[in-house]
Structure 1
């Protein structure tokens, strides 16, 4: 293939520039690959830890590992939404386990209540969609 293409700088008069065309095609291919990577829905691979005891006001930070996270993400912890959570790297997001319903979806004007102990689905939401869910077990929360 390269033997048929003239060298750059020694083009015949009136000949097209295949080397430039090839460069544009190659760059176009790279650009489309990058664009498709950017449109990937986030994937949640693991939570560490995947359970915690928050009795006595313990603060627990969870590291969510996966791919496709944005600079700022929404973490769904059951029905509780943690907004604008930054990623700590291309593949991790860290958040503090909520212990009350301050950020509960459709909470209304009711007094703040502690979250009950139990299993909560964690989902990471980006501008491109929501990840799969993983279970986090909250221990030491309010009694149901």
Structure 2
């Protein structure tokens, strides 16, 4: 990548594990981090995240916007979390924004995929074709 053409840089103190643009907004970006948190940015102001989602016990391996107000994350702690972005706090960790935690999905190593469609979340792990299909319903 040619740094001369870079439009901006977002720095994080821990390793970034995944990045996802919102398909529902041209200015929203979220990334999962090795510090167990998910950072959400408005690309019109990248000086600070507009919210930080805290609640996983290990690195956040995938993030996915379900709509403009809902995010799903997976972690190497073997959980998936559904986040209500309307319940976030600006400037500090938003621990109460987690509306649902899915547990019981085990992985030998790490998550290798996360996909959503028509009210379902699918995720997979590296070992022995482990995967889960979870029904979700997001209130509109």
TM-score normalised by L of structure 2: 0.24
Q: Quick one: higher RCO (CA 8 Å, sep 6+), 1 or 2? A: 1
Bigger helix share: 1
Q: TM-score, normalised by structure 1?
A: 0.24
Larger radius of gyration: 1
